[in-house]
Chains A and B, each alone.
Chain A
Amino acid sequence: MTVPLSWYLIFATALFSIGFFGVLARRNAIAVLMGVELMLNAVNVNLVAFWRYLTPTDLSGQIFVVFVFAVAAAEAAVGLALMISIYRTRKSINVDELNELKL
C-alpha cells in the first residue's frame, strides 16, 4: 500500500504550524530561529512530495529543496551571528525586549 499525497501534505502543514507557533510564541530568539527552520523544512517536505507524485520525471522539485537547504543554512548562520551580537550589547536575547524597530 502506498502512502497518499495528502498524508504528506497534512504532515507538512502540522510541521509548518508548529514552527510558526514557535516563531510567534517563544521569547528566546534562538527558539524563534528554530521555529523558522521547522517552517522551511515543512516547505521542503511539500516540495519533495509534489515532485514525487506530480512530476516524477522533472528534477526541479529536488533541486529546489537543495537550494532551500543552502539558503536555510546561510540564514541560520547570519541569524545566530546577529543573536550573539545582540547578546553582547544587551545581555539578553529575549525578543519581547527587542523593540528598536519602533524607534
Chain B
Amino acid sequence: MHDYPFVFNLTWLIPLPTALAFFAIIFFTNPKKRLSSNVAIGAVIIAWILSWAVAFAFFLKPELTEHPFDLHVPWLPMGEIAFHMGVAVDAVTAGMLFMVGFVLTMIFIYSSGYMTFPGHLDPKQYPEAAKEGLDPRYSRFFAYISLFATGMLGLVVADNLLMLFIFWEIMGLCSYLLIGFWFDKSYPDPNQITPKQAGLKAFLTTRVGDVLFMMGLIFLFIHAGTLNFQAIFANVEFMEELAAATVTLPVFGAVSWAVLISILIFWGAIGKSAQFPLHVWLPDAMEGPTPVSALIHAATMVSAGVYLIVRMAPLFAASSHGVNGAMTFVAFIGAFTALFAATIGVAQKDIKKVLAYSTISQLGYMFAALGIGAWVAAIIHLLVHAFFKALLFLGSGSVIHGVEHGHHHVHEHGHGHDDEHGHEEYFDPQDMFNMGGLLKRMPITGWTFIAGALSLSAFPFITAGFWSKDEILAHAWDGGHMAVYWTLAIGAFLTAFYTFRQVFLTFFGKPRTEAAEHAPESVRAMTWPLIGLAFFAIFGGFVAVPKSFPVFGKIFSDFMIKLMEMQGEFYPFLHVAPAEFHWTPAIISMTLALSGIVVAWLVYGWKPLEAGQPDPLKRWLGPVYTVLEKKYYFDEFYHLIAVRPTLWLASFFARFDRGVIDRIVNWVGAFGRWLAATLRKWFDEYVIDGAVNGVGLVTTWTGAVVRLIQTGQAQTYLLILLLSVAVLLLLIPLR
C-alpha cells in the first residue's frame, strides 16, 4: 500500500453532488427557477473543488504515476467473478479532472445568464416565464446539465470500462435531451433541421458507434475476465497473447484479437467524438442551446472519445506488434477528419457551425496524434482544446445573444407597424453575415473570443493552442509520418483561415444589420466565465512547453509533458519518448498558421463586407464552395443509403402487415366468432343452461319437501329429536 494523499479517498464523491442536484431539481425545486440554477451551480462548484483537490494532490506528487490509485468495491457478482465499481487516479485522470471541473463550473455559471426567455417562444403562452425573463424550462435545463456533469465526472474517475460505458451512455442521453431542448422550435425553411430532429440524429448516429464499442467491451471481457484498466494493462503476458491470437473475419481475413477489439472500441470514439464517417451529428447538434454546445459538443463529451482511446492506448500499442492495424486506422481516421472537417468549416455561414466543424477537425488532430503514438501530445491538446473551444462556444453564444437582443430592440422600437403585416421576416441571429463590427458593441466577448481564436489557430509562442498543436506536428515529423504531418499542417492553415474569417466577419468592419448595430454586451454571469476560460486558453500552454524548444523551453515549464510521459512509461507498450526539435516542421507550421490568419485578413479584414454582399470565396471557388457549403453532401448521401432504405423497408412492412398479417388475423377472428356462435347455440343452451337450471330445480324440490317438517312448534322439534335419538340408539349396538 502506498502513501496516497487522503483526498484520493474522496475521489468517488466527485460525481455525486451534481447527481444529487439533478434529483433535487427534478423532485423539489423545479417550480423555482433561480433556486434550481443555484442548486446546480452550488453542486458543480463542490465537484470542481473536489476535482481540483484531487488533481493538485496528484500534481504535487508526480511519483504517484508509478502507482496509480485505485479504490473499488465488488458490485455485480457473476458466478466466480465480480464486476467492481471503483475510481482510479492517475496523471490522465488528474489532468482531465483539472480541465473538466473548471470548464463545467464556468459553463454552469454562464448558463444561468444565457438561458433567458428564448425568441422562438410566444410570451403570451408562458406569461410567468416571460415576466421573469427566463426560459420556461430553465429548471429542467439545469437538471439536465447536472446529470451531464455527473456523466462526465464519473467517466473521468471510473476505473473500469463498464462504468466508463455507463457514464458514457448517460452523457449520450443528456446530449439527446439537451440538443432537443427547444423541441418546439421550428423554422420557415422545411429543409433546415429542427432541434427535435437534431437530437434524434445525434442519438441514432452515436448509437452506431456505441453498439460496436459494446461489442469490443464484450470481446475484451471474454478474453480478460475483467474490465479494470490497471488489471488489464498490468498483465503484459495477456496483452501479448491477445495481440498474437488471431480470429478469421469475413472480408478482412485473419485479424489479431487485440486489433479487432481496439478497432471496435475506436468505433465508439468515432461516434462520440464525431469523426468521419459518423461526424454528421455534431454540426446539427448546434441546434441545442449554446452552453450545451460548449459543454457537450466542444469541451467535454466529444473529448470523451479521445479520453477513451488515451485510456485504451496500451491495447492499441500492443496490437501493433503484429499487423499494425489499429494504430494506422486511428491515425488515418484522425488525420483525414482533421483536414476534411476543416475544409467544410471554411464555407459555413453559421457562427456555431464553423466552431462545430473546427471541433471535429481538432478532435481529428488528437486521434491522429494517438495513431502515430504521440500519446502525451494528444492528452495535452485534449486539455488545451477544451479550454479554448469552450471559450469560443461561450463567446459565440454571447454574440448570438447580443444579436438576438439587438434584433428585439430594433423590432420593438424601430418597426412599430410590423404587427400589421403579421409575421416579421425570419432573422437568423447565428448567421455571421448578419453581424460585423461587434467588437465595439461587445468588447469583453470580442477580446476573449479573439484570444480563443488565436489559441485555436495556433498563434506562435503566446497561445496554449500553439504549444499543444506544435507538439503533435513535431511528433508527426519526428516519427517520419509525413502523410500525417502534411495533412495536419494543411489543416492548420485552414483552421487559422476559417477561425479568422469568423473573427473578421463577426467583430470587425461595420455592422451589416440593425440587429448587430444594437447588440448589447452580455451580463456579467456570461462575461466572467469567458475571462476565466481565456486565461487558460492563453496561459494554459506554458506548463507544456517542450524542453527541447529553443529559448522558450528554458523560460517555461514542461511540467505537464513530464508528468504524462512518466504516466505513459508506467503502461506497457506505450513509447512516449519526447519528440526531437526540428526547425523545418516548426517553421512550416508557424508559417502556415500565420499565413492562414493573413489570408483571412486579406479576404475579410482588409475590405470588410458590405451588408448583403455574398462571400467573396463563393466567386473564387465556384462549385467547390457549394460542395463545401453542402458538407460534401454527406447528409444527402446518408439519407439515400440509410434513411431512405429504412423508410422504404418500414413502409413495405407496413403494407405487408396490413395486407397479409391483418388478413390472417381477421380470418382467425371470423372463424373464432363462428365457432363461438355455434357453441353458444348448442352447447351453452342445452348443456350449461341445463346444468344450471337443473341445480336450481333440485334445490326447489328439496326445499318443498323439507319445509313440511318445519312447523315452528318447539314440541314437534322435540318429538323429532326423541325419535332421532331412539333410532340412533337402535342403530348403535349396545355393548
Contacts and interface: CB of A to CB of B under 8 A. Distances in A.
Interface of A: 20, 23-24, 32, 95-96, 98-103
A24 B722 contact: yes
Interface string B706-735: 000011111100110010000000000000
Nearest to B718: A24
27 contacts: A20-B722, A23-B715, A23-B718, A24-B715, A24-B718, A24-B719, A24-B722, A32-B715, A95-B713, A95-B714, A95-B715, A96-B713, A98-B712, A98-B713, A98-B714, A99-B711, A99-B712, A99-B713, A100-B712, A101-B712, A101-B713, A101-B714, A102-B710, A102-B711, A102-B712, A102-B713, A103-B712
Interface in B558-576: none
Given A95-B713, A99-B711, A102-B712, 16 more contacts: A23-B715, A23-B718, A24-B715, A24-B719, A32-B715, A95-B714, A96-B713, A98-B712, A98-B713, A98-B714, A99-B713, A100-B712, A101-B713, A101-B714, A102-B713, A103-B712
A24 B713 CA distance: 11
A44 B712 CA distance: 31
- Tell me if B's interface is mostly helix, strand, loop or mixed: helix
B710 to A, nearest CB: 6
A102 B708 CA distance: 11
Contacts of A99: 711-713
Contacts of B710: 102
Nearest to B717: A101
A50 to B, nearest CB: 19
Contacts of B715: 23-24, 32, 95
B721 to A, nearest CB: 10
A17 to B, nearest CB: 11
Nearest to A99: B712
Residue among B710, B711, B712, B715 facing the most chain A CB atoms (10 A cut-off): B715
What 7 A-B pairs are tightest by C-beta distance, nearest first? A102-B712, A99-B712, A101-B712, A99-B713, A24-B715, A24-B719, A102-B710
A32 B718 CA distance: 12
Contacts of A20: 722
Interface string B168-207: 0000000000000000000000000000000000000000
A23 B716 CA distance: 11
A102 B707 CA distance: 9
Contacts of B719: 24
A96 B714 CA distance: 9
A27 to B, nearest CB: 9
Contacts of A96: 713
Interface string B35-72: 00000000000000000000000000000000000000
Nearest to A25: B715
Contacts of A100: 712
Nearest to A95: B715
B538 to A, nearest CB: 107
B583 to A, nearest CB: 124
Contacts of B722: 20, 24
Nearest to B707: A102
B181 to A, nearest CB: 79
A24 B718 CA distance: 7
A101 B718 CA distance: 14
B703 to A, nearest CB: 14
Contacts of B713: 95-96, 98-99, 101-102
A95 B712 CA distance: 10
Nearest to A26: B715
A23 B722 CA distance: 12
Nearest to B713: A99
Contacts of A95: 713-715
Nearest to A102: B712
Contacts of A103: 712
A71 to B, nearest CB: 19
A51 B385 CA distance: 114
Nearest to A100: B712
Nearest to A27: B715
A32 B719 CA distance: 13
Interface string B669-713: 000000000000000000000000000000000000000001111
B726 to A, nearest CB: 12
Contacts of B718: 23-24
A20 B721 CA distance: 12
B88 to A, nearest CB: 88
A23 B710 CA distance: 19
B722 to A, nearest CB: 7
A103 B714 CA distance: 13
B723 to A, nearest CB: 11
A101 B710 CA distance: 9
A99 B716 CA distance: 10
A98 B722 CA distance: 20
A99 B715 CA distance: 10
Contacts of A23: 715, 718
A32 B714 CA distance: 11
A103 to B, nearest CB: 7
A101 B713 CA distance: 7
Interface string B244-275: 00000000000000000000000000000000
Contacts of A24: 715, 718-719, 722
A32 B710 CA distance: 20
A23 B713 CA distance: 12
Contacts of B714: 95, 98, 101
A22 to B, nearest CB: 11
Contacts of A101: 712-714
Nearest to A29: B714
B315 to A, nearest CB: 95
Contacts of A102: 710-713
A36 B585 CA distance: 131
Nearest to A96: B713
B713 to A, nearest CB: 5
A98 B613 CA distance: 119
B715 to A, nearest CB: 6
Nearest to A23: B718
A89 to B, nearest CB: 16
A100 B710 CA distance: 11
Contacts of A98: 712-714
A40 to B, nearest CB: 15
Residue among A20, A101, A103 facing the most chain B CB atoms (10 A cut-off): A101
B400 to A, nearest CB: 93
A20 B718 CA distance: 9
A93 to B, nearest CB: 13
